[in-house]
Chain A
Amino acid sequence: MAGIRVEGVARSFGEVHAVRNAAFEVEPGTVAGLIGPNGAGKTTLLLMLASLLAPDSGSIRIAGYDPVTEPHQVRRRMGWMPDTLGSWPTLTVRAALATSGRMYGMSSDAASDRAADLIGLVSLDPLADQPTRVLSRGQKQRLSLARALVHDPEVLLLDEPASGLDPAARAALRELVRKLAGDGKTVLVSSHVLAELEEMADTAVYLADGETAAPDDVARAGQAARGWRIRSLDADRLSAALEAAGFGAVAVVDRFGAVVPFASEADAAQMLAHLVGVGVPISSFAPAVGDLEHVFHDLNRQGGEA
């Protein structure tokens, strides 16, 4: 059980260096978010992990096997959900999943059983015997996820799995991914909807301009000052109190309340105690952005300044 190991991976297309230097590990039983702005090389990196694209340099191990020299072993153990949603248009959902199963060497019966299970798992039961071309985007997304799971892989690579899903389906996806990790699978999820990753990822891999951020940078970014959103029933008293506490210059006051930067959680806690102490009616006090987004923006800012 080796999860995903990536060391010094680079890949260019002609003059374009899509991935310059990617290095990270994902342990079995964990969910890692792959985070980066558009064009950062997320999909290219996933294609290399999925044994479809050979890296120019560096090494990759999926469940302990090299996708370049032992693609067959990797494909047995790896499920990939692409960002482009293709399906055989005239096949029914059931037949499409069974066919995928048979492509992994399952017998007809085993593949049919597996297809039936997966249809239930991704809640496509009412559409099971419809041709896949009638599916909506979100439904195709769920079919694509089911296909990635068809051979019960150890390692799952999900490229933008949540785009196009309604809130209920997102919640179901989150639960499913957590459950898979609980079963000991290794999951790598790419997305730029950070709030969503926040809820399912144990760790994160930050990719910008084709380079993964070093762990030190990530740690530092996590500790940098961040904004906290404060809401009060009485906005005037809140801004007056902030002014009095010396945050008047840095607080951004708007009609929702105020966003105030604090260097640490301890500072934030202290301020909350103070505001409550002076009688400001606080209704909400929370980080303005999630942890992942906070690090993401901070790393991007560092990258911009460098």
Chain B
Amino acid sequence: MSGFLRGMWLIVTLDLKQRVRGVAWYVLLGVFVLLVTIVTVLTVVASNAWDTGGGAVFSVVVFFVLLLGTLVSPALSGNAINGERDTGTLATTQVTLITTAQLVVGKWLAAWLTALAFLAASVPFLVFGIVLGQITAATILISVLVLAVELAVIAAIGVGLSGVLTRPLFSVVVTYLVVAALSVGTLIAFGLGGASIQSDVRQTTIAVDYEALDENGLPPNGSEVPCLGPQSYEYQTPRFDAVWGFLAANPYVVVADASPITFDEHGSPRDLFGWIAVGVRQAQHAPDLEPVYDECADWKGYNGYVGSDYETPREIYDRSVPSWFVGLAIHLLLGAGALAWAWRRSEVPVRRLPAGSRIA
């Protein structure tokens, strides 16, 4: 095992050495920090954060770092293997004692570490949230961890595709498309998918016969509440519970859902991430297809109709599956699958060579 790690680390250091000696990487890092600074300053001004606390600033900066990270990461990883083949250094590595697994895992780690540098550069801006208040160190730690895992997944997809597809340009573009599919495609799939699966709802209402009440709004002669017969009507409702997995697979939702949630006294979330978390968890639950609103049963006397019990967001949150866990599991499967595919396709000696590709 130590032999495996040694060879893999050699690939990682080789890859990193080549990256950090290029100017492009530093320019990219500088632009990244500049953009995060601008966004942080503007959000602080816009949300009046000195008075209202750093919750909004924190949410915006985390999402912005995720956005930039997902934009930068495919470029850092999407040509890891086929780019080496193009420069003619892949085959000379493959004839050494370095195994394909060491090569693929090493390339992935190198791409991930490079992307992590961007995350590290944004940590000061996240810590700024503590200064403004409202945000705890635990929240920042968890958000940074989840962001790191998301960058690992994108790096894995990029390196994986670079091992599967022959042309570097093509694999970088496909990696971007996968990122777009996860970030935007999942929202579209969730919205359209939920709306296209409709269920019939049969709603029954048992209303109080207000006309039969006396002038005080009480049942006459202290008798039972006069009720009208049950009335029902039907309508259709979208079934988001069938497609909530799409929403869970959205990296923004994963990041939002994973950060610790805080509720106010009414059981409502305090920040943007909390509302997203409650929203995605609410989507898990099937709508009641035969709701009964029994005004009579809930009758508590004059002005006493209290209505049926509504669940607070907190109650919904607590009785649902943690969405971030599902989303992260989907992402990890995607990433691991991409790496495994690249491993299989880069194995030498090659038996089946895809048309148009070459070995050295």
Residues of A that sit less than 8 Å from B by CB: 13-14, 47-48, 50-54, 67-68, 71-72, 75-76, 78, 80, 82-91, 95, 99-100, 102-105, 144, 147, 151
A48–B349 touching, CB < 8 Å: yes
Chain A residues lying within 8 Å of B98, measured Cβ to Cβ, are 103
The proximity string for B residues 249-282 relative to A, scoring 1 for CB distances below 8 Å and 0 otherwise, is 0000000000000000000000000000000000
Q: Does B300 reach chain A (CB closer than 8 Å)?
A: no
CB of A71 within 8 A of CB of B21, answer: no
Interface of A, secondary structure class, is loop
Contacts A14-B355, A52-B360 given; indicate if A105 touches B349 (C-beta within 8 A).
Answer: no
Footprint of A on B, CB under 8 Å?
A: 3, 7, 10, 14, 17-18, 21-22, 84, 87-98, 348-351, 353, 355, 359-360
Report Cα–Cα, A48/B3, bound state, in Å: 26
- Closest CB in chain B relative to A56 CB, distance in Å: 9
Alpha-carbon separation in the docked complex, A91 to B16 (Å): 11
B97 in contact with A80 (CB, 8 Å): no
20 A-B pairs (CB sep. < 8 Å): A47-B360, A50-B91, A52-B360, A53-B349, A53-B350, A54-B349, A71-B348, A76-B97, A78-B95, A84-B88, A84-B360, A86-B84, A86-B360, A88-B14, A89-B87, A90-B17, A90-B21, A91-B14, A95-B17, A103-B96
The answer for the CA separation of A87 and B18 in the assembled complex, in Å, is 11
Q: Is the CB of A103 within 8 A of B10?
A: yes
Q: Do B22 and A68 touch (CB < 8 A)?
A: no
Say yes or no: B97 contacts A105, CB within 8 Å. Answer: yes
Contact B351 A103 (CB under 8 A): no
Q: Are A100 and B89 touching (Cβ within 8 A)?
A: no
The verdict on A52 contacting B355 (CB below 8 Å), with A82-B360, A90-B17, A103-B10 known, is no
- State the CA gap A71–B348 with chains docked (Å): 8
Cross-chain contact of A88 among B18, B94, B359, B360 (Cβ < 8 A): B18
CA distance A85 to B359 in the complex (A): 13
CB distance from B196 to the nearest CB of A (A): 43
Contacts of B89 in A (CB 8 A): 86-88
Q: Which residue of B lies closest to A81 (CB)?
A: B92
CA distance A87 to B93 in the complex (A): 10
Known contacts A72-B97, A100-B92; decide if A52 and B87 are in contact (CB<8 Å).
no
Report Cα–Cα, A82/B18, bound state, in Å: 22
Q: How far is the CA of A151 from the CA of B98 in the complex (A)?
A: 13
* CB contact under 8 A between A54 and B351, given known A75-B97, A80-B95, A88-B89: yes
Partner of A53, one of B87, B92, B359: B359
A100 / chain B contacts, CB cutoff of 8 Å: 92, 96
**B88 engages A102 (CB within 8 Å):** no
Q: Which residues on the A side are within 8 Å of B350 (C-beta)?
A: 52-54
Shortest distance in angstroms between B90's beta carbon and chain A's nearest beta carbon?
8
Q: What is the bound-complex CA distance between A78 and B22, given in angstroms?
A: 33
With A54-B350, A86-B89, A99-B10: A91-B18 Cβ-Cβ less than 8 Å: yes
* Cα distance, A97 to B343, chains bound together (Å): 26
A75 near B10 with CB under 8 A, answer no
Choose from B18, B84, B90, B92 the contact partner of A147 (Cβ within 8 Å): B92
Q: Which residues of A contact B14 (CB under 8 A)?
A: 88, 91, 99
A93 to chain B, nearest CB (A): 14
Residue of B nearest to A99 (CB): B14
Using Cβ atoms and an 8 Å threshold, which residues of chain A touch B94? 52
Closest to A55 in B: B349
A82 engages B7 (CB within 8 Å): no
Q: Quick check: A52 and B97 within 8 Å, CB to CB?
A: no
B3: chain A residues within 8 A (beta carbon): 105
> Nearest Cβ distance between residue A78 and chain B, in whole angstroms?
7
- B18–A89 CB distance below 8 A: yes
- A90–B18 contact, CB under 8 A? yes
Could you say which residues of chain A place their CB within 8 Å of the CB of B84?
Answer: 86
Per CB-CB distance, the 7 closest pairs between chain A and chain B, nearest first, are A86-B88, A103-B96, A54-B349, A86-B89, A90-B21, A84-B88, A54-B351
Residue of B with least CB distance to A84: B88
